[in-house]
Every structure is written in C-alpha cells, then in structure tokens.
Amino acid sequence: MENEKGKAGAAFCLRRYYGRVKMMQGADDMLQEIINKTKRLVFFGGAGVSTASGIPDFRSAKGLYSERIGDLTPEMILSSSFFYLHPAQFFAFYRSHMLFPEAQPNAAHRKLYELEKADILRGIVTQNIDGLHRKAGNIRVYELHGTVHENYCMDCGEKYDLNWMLANREDIPHCPHCGGVVKPNVVLYGEGMDKYVCMGACREIGNADTLIVAGTSLSVEPAASFLSYFRGKNLVVINRERTPADEKATLVLHEDIEEVMQSVSVHV
C-alpha cells in the first residue's frame, strides 16, 4: 500500500514538474500536439480573453471590480435590484464602463475562428458580453451572460442593437414604439442565465475530448461549475493566475492567452 501511495505521489509530482518544464521549454509543442489529436475541442473563456482587445477584466488588481463609485461597488450597480431601483445610475455606469464599440477581435479570437472553420472547435462557451467571438466570425458561441449587442423593450419585446443604445441620449432609454424601458440583454447579479444557452454549453462541454479554459479565475458561479460536465481526455488551462482547475489539468500555462493561441497552427 505504501509503495502504491509512493507511485501515485511520484506520478502527481512528475505531472506537475513535466507541466512546468513544458511551460518553459516547448509548451507550444505540447498544446499543438493536443490540438492535432483532438476531434471535439471546446473553448471556455472569461474576461482575460478580451483584455488584448482593450477591454478590462474584472478581478485583477486593475480590473473593473477594483473601482468604487462613491459607496457603491460595480457588483452592486450591475445587480438586478439596482437596475430596478436606480435605472438612471445603472445606465450611466453601464454606458461608461461596459460598452466598448471600438474593440476588435484579437489574435486569440481569430485563432478560434480558424479552429471552428477547420471543424476542430465545436463550441465556445464564454462568460464575456462583448460579442467579440461572433465579431471574429464564430457561430457556435454560447454567451452565458448575454451580450451588449442585444437590447429589448421590457414591455413590448421590440429588439434594439448596440448602435441604437449608443445613439440613445436618454438617461433611461425608452422604446420608441411603446415607451417601455429598453434593457440590455445581459445577465445581472440576481438574474438567472438562459436555460437553453446553459443546456447547449453543458452538452458541448460534456461531448468534448479536449477543453481549453482560458482567461478566467473560475470564481463566478454557476458558470464555473460547468467544467464538471467535462469527461474528455485533455483539460488545458491558460490563465496568468492559478485557478481551481489547475490541479486537474493536463497542461497549465500561466501565460498570455493571445500569445499562446497565436502560436497554434491549424491543420485542415
């Protein structure tokens, strides 16, 4: 029994050591090898995927959530209760801190589009609301927290795009057809995610043989728990900071996401 424990411990240490060696000497080769062999790749991404596009993340030292607006935190303002109680303050913050109309897909977004075109990537599950995956050309995108590119009238259901929201000068945007409040189609704190988006995301993760988790601290639930559906062979984590998934991963890269993804070659 003691010998078996020793072997298990040695294997664990070897895996961690091997991972660190690869990170310093040829991590790109190991990631490339994994992608070359995969049949069903799924990408699970967070705010770190879009920082190279000029969109700040949330939980880093200089992230959005490090700010305070008077006595309020961003989490308070981006809550369902605050939206209903103080809509004008909500929209002032939303327009100034959450909308980046000039942002363009970066190398990571573009590489994921190449992987989807090659039918290697079967789905992107994103916590981001910036719409950059779709802007890059990807179709198989599950936007867990919605998107700033969609807005709807809470009374009549009429839909409006991001350009309409940007052009609207009202403190609280109202529907031209019925006068109802136009709400962004993003999931606020205290609201539930779309069940069909969640079902599709969990199905794709469950069917994947390789899952890449990138740019997320995996601290937001219930999105982070979606990883429990993964039963595939290779779990790859790309994030500058440690995550709860690191210990279970085949490969851990504490590197820049854009640089890592840019190094991947897509073989059709």
Residues of the chain with pLDDT under 50: 1-25
* 248 within domain boundaries: yes
Cα–Cα distances in angstroms (integers) from residue 259 to residues 41, 59, 111, 240, in the given order:
19, 21, 11, 12
* 37 within domain boundaries: yes
Catalytic residue IDs: 145
* 49 within domain boundaries: yes
DSSP symbol at 185: E
* 38 within domain boundaries: yes
Q: Looking at the 3D structure of the chain, how many domains does it have?
A: 1
**pLDDT for position 9:** 37
- pTM for this model (two decimals): 0.87
* 263 within domain boundaries: yes
**pLDDT for position 118:** 96
**pLDDT for position 3:** 45
CATH number of 39's domain: 3.40.50.1220
* 125 within domain boundaries: yes
* 62 within domain boundaries: no
Q: How many CB atoms lie within 10 A of CB 86?
A: 15
Burial (CB count within 10 angstroms: exposed 0-12, middle 13-18, buried 19+), residue 194: middle
> Residue 128 is part of which domain span?
23-55+104-145+193-268
Nearest CA to 151 among 164, 138, 141, 140?
Answer: 164
* 231 within domain boundaries: yes
**pLDDT for position 69:** 77
**pLDDT for position 62:** 66
